[in-house]
Amino acid sequence: MKEIDADIVNKVNALRKALHRHNYLYYVLDNPEVSDAEYDRMMQELIALEEAWPELYDPDSPTSRVGAPPLSEFQTIAHSIPMLSLGNAFADSEIIDFDRRTKKILKTEDDILYTVEPKLDGLAVELVYEKSKLIVASTRGDGVNGEVVTANVRTIRSVPLLLHTPTMPSPFEGEGMGGGEKRNIPLRLEVRGEVFIGHEAFRSLNEEQLNQKLAPFANPRNAAAGSLRQLDSSITAMRPLEIFFYGVGEFTDLKLKSHWETLQTLRELGFRINPLIRPEITIKEAVDYYKTLEDKRHLLPYDIDGMVIKVDNLSLQMKLGNTSRSPRWAIAYKFKAMQETTRILNIDVQVGRTGVLTPVAHLQPVSVGGAIVRRATLHNEDEIERKDIRIGDTVLVQRAGDVIPEVVKVIESKRTGVERIFHMPRNCPVCGSIVIRAKGETATRCINATCLAQLKERIKHFSSKGAFDIDGLGDKLVEQLVDNGLLASYADIFYLDAVKVEDMERMGPRSAEKLACAIEKSKKIKFNCFLYALGIRHVGEHVAKILAREFKTLDNLLLATAEQIEVVEGAGFVIAESVINFFKQNTNRRVISRIIDSNVCIFQTVEKERTLEDKVFVLTGTLEDLTRNQAKEMIEAAGGRVSGSVSRKTDYVVAGSSPGSKLSLAKDLDVEIIDQATLQKMLSL
Ligand code: IVH
């Protein structure tokens, strides 16, 4: 046997300790000290050493998160203290009642202090630590017995394999590691938390499922459950599970007085605690915070489905006790569901700007998350087939943020046998031309370029923000103008007959005058906006900017060959072919000439230095003298990106007056907040 050099042992120990600590700084304190690359280097070094010296094997090494051999079934284990569920409330009045009830049981009129937390939409687990080591992890199961998922839980990077011991001397320990004073390390500790998957990880996981011809998960919760309950933990290891801890079961050696103190202690011991928890507040403040959280909900990178209100004082919790199912000292104030069941009354087909036919479900109107939903997109023929959606089906519909509602799945048990299978029409429902579905494509298209449905959508796109941005030429008016024969192409916008417009239903001299002014104003247009407005396939706002930057003028682009376009960074073969095809067609050339002849002036965007390359900005509130669109353009011109929501990836939040909840989220996530003046300084550097 090889003799192990003491230096090697020391090195391995030091690396293990440092990596445990960096995990803690990263996941729990959200404040990493080293770059990801540095962390990876240390991890690689440790892996190499452990491979060279297998005698140094330690199951709790930071390297051992890859999963264990597959199981044939899960073992079960009894929770020392049952994992109860929570009573639900759906209105402020129920929360006030809860507070009144609580005071009555406690025979007090004094304000009770509560700690409130986001209710995470994942699945509950219990982790048992003995002598600082994670020994068992289990699911909630039926509350009394859970399934043992230790190997799976060990793969979650934010789960400490060893308790964090802040006061132990270590050459790697820096300042500000919490505590400082001596704290008992519990001999035994049961912690409870919620395992979940974030939105971005959920999307890429589902993409991967589809690539592998596997059924995608219906929502992040299902994906988290499916990932945690894997008999083969090496599969779990590849799933981006996360965890927040919110409570304890049985424990020794700790003297805890309140729930908030419990959470802080857990944090010091290395457990990740949600940053949106509000400690020690009155019931009125809790009700107010519910609204704040509900506003923030759409900005968070993970799902929450309500707020949990907990009596903070642990001796009061004891006095209140539990019912058979739930504690009397806590209640879940649920948000309005973002998913509801309803019935598909019919399916019809919409024709888009590029002729793509989109099947749309007409639903029995239903309130989802506070908005009435009447229609849901069914995406395309394959989606309908994959989900086996039929007319008359009872379905689960979902609204997520601002996106169009969609059908998640069919509730098959509600089928009565009268449901009808939907077939994509063979002809365009608007112009009657034959529709085509190309080999390998999911989209079915109407290929009649003069189809009125396509024309209307093309014109709407042409006048939209980011394109000609014609104020007052909204969707309804476009439809009216096309139906009245006043617009047969988007070029006609610049030749509209004022008298005829005036005579149209719901118009009049003033509206017609306003429209004429807006059209006149739109005639000065940046080259990239002009390109985007044309509605060339595959040329969205981003590609239009790339092409405008490269070719500078319309004439240059018209003269460019497919090869010259293809080699532009960010373009490629498909875009090149599409652009060339578009400009080759005589109808398109004629329309462009008519636009130019109407005195539309296309100006070149001046190339700024790309000082903000790859920086992510979020805008909130009203800026001093810039519209959000102007600020967005300036940031993008300097190479930055503007995102709609704040996350850990946000570099700066630009806050104007009356900022929204994005600002408080930025503070919670420690994102740098700047004002307009600072932004302008950054842009002029
Ligand atoms: S406390 C006895 N806190 O909600 C108190 N639960 O309906 C039990 N949950 O099974 C739980 N976030 O999965 C608590 N901040 C939070 C929570 C939370 C999500 C889940 C948990 C539990 C279910 C109870």
Q: How far apart are CA 348 and CA 428, in angstroms?
A: 11
Q: Residue 572: pLDDT band by 50, 70, 90 thresholds?
A: confident
Taking Cα atoms as reference points, which of 72, 75, 47, 235 lies closest to residue 155?
235
Q: Which class would CATH give 452-522?
A: mainly alpha
Q: In whole angstroms, what is the distance from residue 221 CA to residue 337 CA? A: 14
553: pLDDT confidence band, cut at 50, 70 and 90?
A: very high
Whether 179 shows a pLDDT value over 50: the answer reads no
Distance from chain centroid for Cα 98: 33
pLDDT at 628 over 90: no
Strand ranges inside 121-211, DSSP E: 123-130, 133-139, 145-147, 188-197
pLDDT value at residue 181: 52
Beta strands in 292-393 (DSSP E): 304-311, 330-334, 339-351, 357-368, 371-377, 390-391
Compute the radius of gyration of the chain from its Cα atoms: 30
* Ligand 1 midpoint to CA 201 (Å): 22
Q: How far is the CA of 409 from the centre of ligand 1 (A)?
A: 26
Residue 170: pLDDT over 60: no
Tell me whether the CATH fold assigned to 339-436 matches the one assigned to 452-522.
no
Side-chain half-sphere exposure of 174, counting CA atoms within 13 A: 10
What pLDDT band is residue 34 in, cutting at 50, 70 and 90? confident
Mean pLDDT of 524-548: 93
Query: Residue 276: its pLDDT value, please?
Result: 95
Nearest Cα residue to 193 out of 268, 265, 258, 140: 140
Fold (CATH) for 88-334: D-amino Acid Aminotransferase; Chain A, domain 1 (3.30.470)
Q: For residue 86, give the ligand 1 atom closest to its CA.
A: 7
Least confident piece of the model among 91-100, 440-449, 602-611: 602-611
| Segments making up each domain of the chain, as ranges | 6-64, 88-334, 339-436, 452-522, 526-603, 616-684
pLDDT at 401 over 80: no
SS3 203: helix
pTM, two decimals, is 0.60
Report the helix count and the strand count for the chain, using DSSP H and E.
Answer: 24, 26
Of 119, 114, 120, nearest in space to 279 by CA = 114
Token duo for residue 518: 């807006």
CB 655 within 8 A of CB 674: yes
Residue whose Cα lies nearest atom 16 of ligand 1: it is 119
Strand 371-377 relative to strand 304-311, pairing = unpaired
Helices 628-637 and 676-684, interaxial angle, to 10°? 30
- Residue 286's closest CA among 476, 115, 471? 115
**217 CA distance to ligand 1 middle (Å):** 22
Q: Taking residues 412-421, what's their average pLDDT?
A: 94
Length of the chain, please? 685
Q: The tokens of 430 are what?
A: 């608007």
What pLDDT score does 66 carry?
72
Residue 180: pLDDT over 50:
no
Looking at residue 26, its pLDDT comes to 83
Closest CA to 431 of 537, 351, 536: 351
Q: What is the pLDDT of residue 72?
A: 74
Considering only CA atoms, which residue is closest to atom 2 of ligand 1?
84
- Residues in Cβ contact with 510 at an 8 Å cutoff, skipping those fewer than 6 apart: none
d(CA 80, CA 130): 14
C-alpha–C-alpha distance, residues 498 and 486, integer Å: 10
- The binding-site residues of ligand 1, defined as CB within 6 angstroms of any ligand atom, are 84-86, 117, 119-120, 124, 140, 194, 246-247, 308, 327, 330, 332
- pLDDT for 171 beyond 80: no
- β-pairing, 616-620 vs 641-643, is parallel
Among 331, 193, 173, 319, smallest CA distance to 262 is for: 193
For the chain, give the percent of residues with pLDDT over 70.
Answer: 96
What kind of fold does domain 616-684 have according to CATH? Rossmann fold (3.40.50)
Domain 526-603, CATH among 1.20.120.1200, 3.40.50.2300, 1.10.150.20, 1.10.3720.10: 1.10.150.20
Mutate which of 81, 115, 119 for ligand 1 pocket (most atoms within 8 A of beta carbon):
119
**What one-character DSSP code corresponds to residue 27?**
I
Is residue 231 a contact partner of residue 72, using CB atoms and an 8 Å limit?
yes
pLDDT in tens, 253-289: 999 999 999 999 999 999 999 999 999 999 999 999 9
Longest CA–CA separation in the chain, Å: 99
- Among residues 536, 530, 546, 525, which one has the least CA distance to residue 585? 536
602, 629, 674 from 622: Cα distances, Å: 29, 11, 13
Mean pLDDT of all residues in 370-378: 90
Q: Which pLDDT tens digit goes with each residue over 640-679?
A: 888 888 888 889 999 988 887 788 888 888 889 999 888 9
pLDDT score of 112? 97
Q: What distances in angstroms separate CA 17 from CA 5, 431, 634, one per listed residue?
A: 19, 70, 46
119 included as an active-site residue? yes
pLDDT of residue 445: 94
Residue 174 has pLDDT above 60, yes or no: no
**Three-state DSSP class for residue 474:** coil
| 405 and 338 Cβ atoms separated by less than 8 Å | no
Q: What is the mean pLDDT of residues 496-520?
A: 91
d(CA 402, CA 496): 34
Q: Of the candidates 374, 342, 382, which has an alpha carbon nearest to the alpha carbon of residue 358?
A: 382
The domain covering 6-64 belongs, at the CATH homologous superfamily level, to Helix hairpin bin (1.10.287.610)
- The answer to whether 424 and 357 have CB atoms below 8 angstroms apart is yes
Domain 339-436 has CATH 2.40.50.140: yes
Pick the residue whose CA is nearest to atom 21 on ligand 1.
Answer: 124
**What integer pLDDT is reported at residue 403 of this predicted model?**
63
Catalytic one of 2, 17, 107, 119? 119
d(Cα 319, Cα 468) in Å, to the nearest integer? 67
Displacement of CA 624 from its chain's centroid (Å): 29
Distance 546 CA to ligand 1 centre (A): 48
Name the token pair of 69.
């051999």
Q: Check: CB of residue 646 under 8 Å from CB of residue 653.
A: yes
pLDDT tens digits, 306-362: 999 999 999 999 999 998 889 999 999 998 878 889 999 999 999 999 899 999 999
Q: Which residue CA neighbors atom 17 of ligand 1 most closely?
A: 119
For position 166, what pLDDT does the model report? 63
pLDDT, mean over the chain = 89
Encode pLDDT of 429-449 as tens digits: 999 999 999 888 889 999 898
How close is the Cα of 30 to the center of ligand 1, in Å?
23
Please state, in angstroms and rounded to a whole number, the distance separating the CA atoms of residues 130 and 537.
61
pLDDT digits (tens, 9 = 90+) for 192-210: 999 999 988 898 888 888 8
pLDDT at 296: 87
pLDDT higher than threshold 90 for residue 525: yes
Ligand 1 atom showing the smallest separation from residue 88 Cα: 7
User: Given ligand 1 and candidates 83, 84, 85, 86, which is best to mutate, with the most ligand atoms within 8 Å of its CB?
Assistant: 86
